[in-house]
Amino acid sequence: MRIARTTAEIRRQLKPLRSRQTIAFVPTMGCLHAGHMSLIEKAGKLADIVVVSIYVNPLQFAAGEDLDAYPRTFDKDATLCRNAGVDFLFHPATLYPKNGPTITLKATQLSDCLCGASRPGHFDGVITVVNILFNMIQPDFAIFGEKDWQQLAIIRRMVEDLQMPVEIVGSDIIREADGLAMSSRNRYLSDADRKQALALYQALRAMQQSALAGEKHVKTLKSVAQNILDAADIRPEYLDIRCAHSLTTKRMLNEQPARAFIAARVGKARLIDNMPLAFNTTPEPASCTEDSR
Ligand code: AMP
């Protein structure tokens, strides 16, 4: 595995390979866990060369957020990447001019709801850095986790709107054995926080099961989740069910794919998670009676 720390270096390393081999790219902020590793594994199946970047992008953190506290574990991450067969690891000190970027990208849709509502400018920071990284790496494929569903939706739209020659590939959410979505920020959780945090998964799962059982009213589904969050003493930043692609709100589940989203602060961590909700047209009967057998 080769490690590059500057734009010139990664460009020089990839240039001779580009015409003969395909490149799959996995952008990360490091502190790698099994979620990241699943993206890397997918990248290896899609293309000849796997490039991973590790860069804690200051542009996507607002003042007062955890930019300085964000865990940086480069040596361990590099070992994980090497063992996973990553070909190139890009770890720049910075990607911006000294006085900050003059030109940035702005998402005019999809970015003002869910995480965008409480983190104004966050997704503009994300798409600006992803655009810079795409220009450097020029990947054929880029893999992003469904854990950050809104980010994935915005990046898909960026690639479409700006006609970028890269295929965006989404990848399943990887969870701990009990269901908590893996996140670099889980390491902010104390033991007690960790137990409390499980309610996010349980609330999403309860909505998913209710939808599967035939419940179609968003209000009812949300109240099922709210009860679980209340019992765990979690006040969500948002608890929402939206159209999976347009991210518009819904009152009823229908044939259009829907997704449930939760964000909440647990201890020092701000956690997010989401799950698809099935639209079940033929709900199972609640129970089997003697007569119906
Ligand atoms: P981050 O390092 O948090 O910026 O994440 C880098 C990439 O890993 C993003 O595409 C995330 O969506 C993805 N990712 C983070 N956590 C998970 C997870 N638990 N399962 C799958 N992908 C994840």
Q: So where are the chain's domains?
A: 2-171, 184-276
pLDDT at 228: 98
pLDDT band at 278 (very low <50, low <70, confident <90, very high): very high
**What are 54-101's pLDDT values in tens digits?**
999 999 999 999 999 999 999 999 999 999 999 999 999 999 999 999
pLDDT band at 281 (very low <50, low <70, confident <90, very high): confident
- 144 CA to centre of ligand 1 in angstroms: 7
pLDDT at 280: 84
- According to CATH, the superfamily of the domain at 2-171 is HUPs (3.40.50.620)
Out of 28, 126, 143, mutate this one to test ligand 1's pocket (max ligand atoms within 8 Å of CB): namely 28
**What are 170-217's pLDDT values in tens digits?**
999 999 999 999 999 999 999 999 999 999 999 999 999 999 999 999
36 flagged as catalytic: yes
Within 13 Å of residue 277, how many CA atoms lie on the same side as its CB?
A: 36
Mean pLDDT of the chain: 95
Tell whether ligand 1 has an atom less than 6 A from the beta carbon of residue 173.
yes
* CATH assignment of 184-276, among 3.40.140.10, 3.50.50.60, 3.30.1300.10, 1.20.1070.10: 3.30.1300.10
**What are 28-43's pLDDT values in tens digits?**
999 999 999 999 999 9
Question: pTM of the full predicted structure?
Answer: 0.95
Taking the C-alpha atoms of residue 7 and residue 10, their distance in angstroms, rounded to an integer, is: 5
* C-alpha torsion angle, residues 157, 38, 259, 112 (rounded to 10): -40
pLDDT at 285: 57
What percent of the chain stands above pLDDT 70? 96
Beta strands in 38-86 (DSSP E): 49-54
- Is the pLDDT reported for residue 292 higher than 60? no
Sign of CA dihedral 224, 225, 229, 232: positive
- Is the pLDDT reported for residue 289 higher than 80? no
Tell whether ligand 1 has an atom less than 6 A from the beta carbon of residue 3.
no
Tell whether ligand 1 has an atom less than 6 A from the beta carbon of residue 144.
yes
Structural tokens at position 66: 């955890």
Identity at 58, one-letter amino acid code: P
The catalytically annotated residue of 36, 91, 122, 217 is: 36
